[in-house]
Structure 1
Amino acid sequence: MTSADDFYDARDAQPCAARLESLLDHTAAVLALGGERSRRFDLAALGALPILRKAALPGLQASAPPFGDLVKQPAALFPRLFLSPGPICEPQLSVPDGSNAARALHAAGFRTGQIVLNTFNYHLTPGGFLMDEAARALGCAVIPAGSAGTEQLLQVMARYRPEAYAGTADHLNIIARAADAAGIDFTIARAVVSGAAVAPSLRSAFRDRGVAVFELYGTAELGIVAYETSAHDGLVVNEDLLVEIIDPVTGRAAAEGEAGEIVVTRPDPRYPLIRFATGDLSAVKAGASGCGRTAMRLRGWLGRVDDTVKVKGMFVHPAQVSEVARAHPEIVRARFVVSRADERDVLTLEVEVEAPDAGLEARMAETLRAVTRLGGVVCLLPPGAVPADDRRIVDTRRYD
């Protein structure tokens, strides 16, 4: 049974109507700052506003560096400045826990006095800092592991015995298996994971280990958009965000339960994002959460609107196939194939080549890593073996 102590603050259980009214009022105020005024601002008025697509950010920012016309204050007034793949410039909001991650970690049981192993990357992208600040805001001590190797992480496990984890589910599984092989006590009892949907088999394996897993959904621009709670019945939308699920073809609101694109409004005057289309698919989950939180719930990540996919927590774009091909004139046709093996993502570059030399496969593997920032498998195939269609990325993973 949920008690008030399980909530981050009183807003977790506030009436839905009060939450919506507050978000709409803040949105109207931000729009007024930009010169747009409306006497009556409601959901219909919000829905009439244009959508800002994440894919448009690189162009907007290139025309008016570094943040386009979305951010009014100088870049130097933000505490940290990131560069996410795209490239997209991301300012860190100059307030404690500006990404609203502490509320999500609190729902996962992160509390004062716990030690958190944080394996999200601290280099140029906001994930590591986002989790670091949120955990410290809750009184946790943080091990800033970032992209440290498995051997180092095992040393950390043996000496600090962390109770909590933040990172991808696949990485946690690698650490757990390595700890077993090394005879090191695996002390993690709860984990917040993001970057990809968690396969049911992997969630079950963690449960057998006694690890409570909580999925998070977020973006570099918005922070944590929605999070799993102790009820494990969907992802609760974070406070201070207004989420719409829209039909990506018609632009109209999707019916409750139907899949559509996640469109988020964050009416923060420092970096307002109004109707920001993430490119990710989800659906509204009917009813209230069993944990007592009253915000909208999402069914979780259901895929991408376009052909972009996430592999090991990193976005992989169709354009990257062309980038690899440009580096190797020997390639006749190429595509990425994403699969699962041994509870981890596998990225394979399938290429048609007519007369490969002895070192071509190794050179292509180096290019694949440089372009995608991921290790992968190169599969050299004879002409005609790669389908002559427009699919540059084939995702064979299944999570149901």
Structure 2
Amino acid sequence: MSDVINSTEVDSTGGGKTLNYILVTVTPAVFVLLITIFLVLFIRTCYKKKWRYKLVPTKDEQDHPRRKSSSKRTVNVTIPDPPPPKIKITTAPNLAEPTSRYTQFTVQLLHKPPVAAECKEITDGEEGVAGKQAYVCLKMNMEQNKLWVEVQKAVGLPHREDGTPADPFVRLSVMSRERRNSRRKVSSTNHIERTSDPTYMQTIDCGSVIKEELANSNLQIQVVDHLQDLLLAEGEVGLDQVEYSKSIRVPLKALTQQPTVGRILISLYHDKTAAKLSITITKLELLSCTLPSNDCWIKIEVTKGTKPLLKKTKSVKVPQREVMLDNTFVCNDVNDASCLTLQCSLVTTVTASLMKRTKLLGKVTLGSHEHGQALRHWTEMVDTPDTQIAEWHNLT
């Protein structure tokens, strides 16, 4: 009997120790787990609300200078649309106090958009002054799909470099607005000697023009000095913007003339079958006052846009006022010469600070984007392939 009692006491004592051990060990772990779950839920709830309670600073924090310098804030800026043009609305004089249902209004734009200058009809006795706005007076007629232009007079043409009046004549050509280098026919008037206000009264045949082409064609007007073959002024007028059989006045843009150092004879030949462009420098004439002290070189550069196709140099012995060269430079793979540009430069060397440097004396550029004689020479070469065309050009 005593043995049974002893065993029961041992069992009860061991069970009590086990329960105490479980309570002491598991209870803190459960408590820590509950606290962790509570913190996770709290953090998740605050994150969903984007910490709205912590992002709003108090008034003292807003006024604090350190708070202002260290805080980072995002400001949404809305750019307003440009305001509409201002419109001035006035009622009609007889309906200043309307009593009926309908009222007449006059709408006037206070800020008008710029409008291109139009040709103006001239009146008798209207004269210009040299040195001011230059213009030319024309009268156009269409007869049997042919454009006839009567060149009446030109007013206010610029003078030469030495201040003397030029010997001007007017050159007309019909060109397309899409292809600036395409010209159907070039016609010219006779030149008038030593005047800035020449009177021509000549009728010129500018070739055949279909009525459907009037909306896409311009009449190019160039005033050229006959003695020096320099472009004095130029202008354009749309064939769809004029009133035919009426005199119009077309403004001209006077071109600034640069001092020339001489002139050069250039010959162009485009072999369309072999796709070659031959450039021949035949003769060079320099002014006595511009003769360099050292030898110089002639540089030939042919480019297509920004891509160089040909770059050659040729030495020239000086001092000589006239130099016979007869040098030919060939540029291959030229199927379409209208998109090329030719630049001919005269370069010499000068000594400065015990160092030799190159100095540009003069140059001339030929191409479809030029004007005057350079444009005419290049266009004639493009329009008449397999033909050698030589012309003098001034070096400026």
Interval containing the TM-score (normalised by the shorter chain) = under 0.3
Q: Which has the higher strand share?
A: 2
Mark the structure with the bigger radius of gyration: 2
TM-score by length of 2: 0.21
User: Greater relative contact order: 1 or 2 (C-alpha under 8 angstroms, separation 6 or more)?
Assistant: 1
TM-score by length of 1: 0.21
